[in-house]
Structures are given as C-alpha cells and as structure tokens.
C-alpha cells in the first residue's frame, strides 16, 4: 500500500488473502482489483478508464445498477459502467455498447451509479476479477485490496493488528475516505489553491460589500435621523440594515451560483468531455 494515499495500491501476493480469511474475527474476505486501462471507442478514439475487478463469486462491492442486470457481468466480455460526471467521456454509451480494451472486446452490460465520482477524471468500469487481470497487463501480484467483513465491530482492532503483523495496513471505510481526503487537501496543490482562491474571493467580496454599505449609510444619514426623530428605536434601525445586507448577500450568492451553472452548461455544450459538478458542499 502506498504510504501517501490509500487510493494507490501495490499488488499483494495471494497468500495475504488466505491469511486474512483465516484471521480471528473475520467473517469473510474477498479480493478486489483496481487498475488503469486505455479503451478504444467506436469512433476510433482512445479514453483512459479505471477498471475495478469484483470477486467472481460474491461480486462484493458492486455498485447500484440503474440499467441492466448484475448477472450480465458474467456474460462474455461484460462490463458495468458508472454513470457519473465522467460518463460522457465514453460517448454516453448504453447497455449493449461495445469497445476494445487491449484488443479484447468489451460490452456494456449495465449502467450503475455511485455516491461520488472518481478522483482522477476518468470513467469507471466494473467487471469480474478474473476478467480484469486477464484483459489488463499486470505484474506478478494482482490483488489491489482485500475487502473484509468482520464478525462484529469489536473485532476490527484485532483484525488491524493481525494485518499489520503481516506487513500491511487495514483501514475501515471511514479511515480510507479520511486518508484520501487528507492527501488531496494537505499533500497536493489542490487544497492550497482552493484555500487561496476562497480567501481572495472572500476578502474582495467583503471589501466591496463593506464599502458599498458604508456609502449607502452615509448617503442616507438624514433619513435615518428622520426615522430616529419620529421614535424609531436604534435596534430597529440595526435590524433594517442587517436585513438589507442579508438580502443583498443572498441575492448575490444566488446570482453567482446561477452564473456558474450557466457557464458549466455552456462549457459542456462545447466540450462533451468537460466534467464539473455544482453541489451543496462546493458552492
């Protein structure tokens, strides 16, 4: 396992899977393959993809299908395609669409959805473990990860200790996600760049808004004085100013988000492979 990010892996020998299955507290364990490949599309173009190989027997870790039948993954050359922000890079295929992967024919047997898109801007294909290692050139060891189901939550610390005794690391789902998130935020330029842009935008917006409202109050001092003279309380004047500021901020926020969505829509019309999403977390 890479020391930098758990999303990059080094192949493990088969005995690791057997050792994990025999550990105390393990209900069952299955292999998982994850690797990159280059597929040839129907129009002759090539596109990088991420291929995930599921355990042939259990298909443990399979995504939720929105089209097709999961059993069709066992059909000849069957693959499941994830429909996310990168989906259009494969020319918006449908069930039955074909492609080539290292001179092997591939057929889309189903369309699936996942909670989040991939981190590397490439479409994701699911297939069986045996097919993945057969289609994609690999080194001697092909097990990228071992998925473990503990008998109970109390067995997790014991399993971690046993795995570390083998020279590997065991991580829960939450720890896996947190380590990947920390890597991209703190150990790459992405987090720093986003922080700098956010701070600059906040400072510029705050200075312009503050100057605008300061000018507004100076120009309307006589009106505020008239309201005060007829009995308006100071707290009512403060509430009125705060309401105006909040209304303006929300209006500007809505216009900004709307403009971003419009620009993303226009970019997708010109660039079919352009992938961007506006969610609640990244607004």
94-133: pLDDT as tens digits: 999 999 998 899 999 999 988 776 666 789 999 999 999 9
Beta bridge partners of 149: 28
User: What CA–CA distance (Å, rounded) separates 237 from 226?
Assistant: 11
User: What CA–CA distance (Å, rounded) separates 48 from 88?
Assistant: 13
Answer for the pair 126, 78: CB distance below 8 angstroms, yes or no.
Answer: no
Question: Which helix (H) or strand (E) element contains residue 127?
Answer: strand 124-128
Q: What is the pLDDT of residues 149-203, one digit of tens each?
A: 999 999 999 999 999 999 898 999 888 888 877 877 777 777 778 788 888 988 8
pLDDT of 1 above 60: no
Residue 8 DSSP one-character state: S
Answer for the pair 5, 33: CB distance below 8 angstroms, yes or no.
Answer: no
Specify the pTM. 0.69
Beta bridge partners of 98: 107
pLDDT of 283 above 60: no
HSE-CB at 76 with a 13 A cutoff on CA atoms is 2
Write down how long the chain is.
Answer: 283
User: What CA–CA distance (Å, rounded) separates 56 from 129?
Assistant: 6
- Residue ranges of alpha helices (H) inside 39-172 are 129-135, 156-165
| pLDDT the model gives residue 59 | 93
pLDDT of 221 above 90: no
- Residue ranges of alpha helices (H) inside the chain are 14-21, 129-135, 156-165, 173-186, 189-219, 221-229, 234-270
Beta bridge partners of 269: none
**Phi, psi of 213, rounded to the nearest 5 degrees:** -70, -30
User: What CA–CA distance (Å, rounded) separates 18 from 166?
Assistant: 12
Helix (H, G, I), strand (E, B) or coil at 243: helix
Q: How confident is the model at residue 260 (pLDDT cuts 50, 70, 90)?
A: confident
Residue whose C-alpha is closest to residue 242's, from 211, 213, 208:
213
Beta-carbon contacts of 123 under 8 Å, excluding residues fewer than 6 positions away, are 47, 49, 50, 81, 82, 84, 86, 87, 89, 90
* CB-CB neighbours of 132 under 10 Å: 25
Angle among Cα 150, 173, 276 to the nearest 5 degrees reads 155
Beta bridge partners of 82: 112
């Amino acid at each position: 396992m890479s020391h930098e990010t758990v999303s990059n892996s080094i192949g493990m020998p088969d005995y690791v899977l057997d050792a994990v299955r025999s550990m105390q507290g393990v209900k069952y364990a299955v292999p998982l393959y994850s690797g990159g490949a280059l597929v040839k599309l129907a129009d002759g173009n090539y596109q990088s993809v991420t291929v995930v190989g599921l355990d042939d027997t259990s298909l443990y870790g399979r995504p939720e299908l929105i089209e097709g039948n999961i059993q069709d993954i066992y059909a000849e050359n069957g693959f499941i395609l994830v429909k996310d922000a990168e989906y259009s890079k494969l020319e918006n295929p449908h069930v039955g669409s074909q492609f080539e992967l290292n001179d092997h024919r591939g057929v889309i047997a189903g369309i699936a959805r996942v909670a989040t898109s991939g981190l590397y801007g490439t479409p994701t294909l699911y297939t069986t473990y045996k097919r993945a290692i057969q289609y994609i050139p690999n080194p001697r060891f092909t097990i990228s990860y071992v998925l473990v189901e503990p008998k109970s939550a109390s067995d997790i610390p014991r399993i971690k200790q046993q795995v570390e005794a083998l020279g590997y690391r065991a991580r829960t789902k939450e720890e896996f996600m947190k380590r990947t998130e920390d890597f991209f935020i703190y150990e790459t330029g992405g987090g720093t760049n986003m922080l700098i842009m956010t701070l600059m935008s906040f400072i510029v917006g705050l200075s312009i808004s503050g100057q605008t409202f300061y000018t507004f109050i100076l120009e309307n001092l006589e009106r505020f004085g008239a309201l005060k003279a007829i009995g308006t309380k100071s707290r009512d004047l403060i509430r009125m100013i705060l309401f105006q500021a909040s209304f303006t901020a929300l209006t500007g926020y809505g216009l900004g988000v709307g403009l971003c969505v419009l620009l993303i829509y226009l970019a997708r019309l010109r660039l079919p492979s352009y992938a961007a999403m506006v969610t609640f977390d990244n607004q």
